[in-house]
Amino acid sequence: MSKKATDPVCGMEVDVEDPPATYEYEGKTYYFCAPGCKKQFEENPEEYVE
């Protein structure tokens, strides 16, 4: 059984044990389904973080 996180960009579930992309922002790790989602987050993190 693996843990899941939600990709904040597209809302997809991501396996946290083998994530396609991760990014640390303000001390929190975010998980992404693809490098493209990570890139979108990097460019405008405030849009995706509450």
Q: Which residues bind Zn ion (CB under 5 A)?
A: 7, 9-10, 12, 33, 37
Smallest gap from Cβ 23 to Zn ion, in A, equals 12
What is the Cα–Cα distance from 21 to 18, expressed in whole angstroms? 9
Nearer to Zn ion, 7 or 30 (CB): 7
Compute the distance between CA of residue 50 and CA of residue 35 in angstroms, rounded to an integer: 21
Nearer of residues 11 and 27 to Zn ion, judged by Cβ: 11
C-alpha 24/C-alpha 19 separation (Å) is 13
Query: Minimum distance between the CB of residue 27 and Zn ion, rounded to whole angstroms?
Result: 22
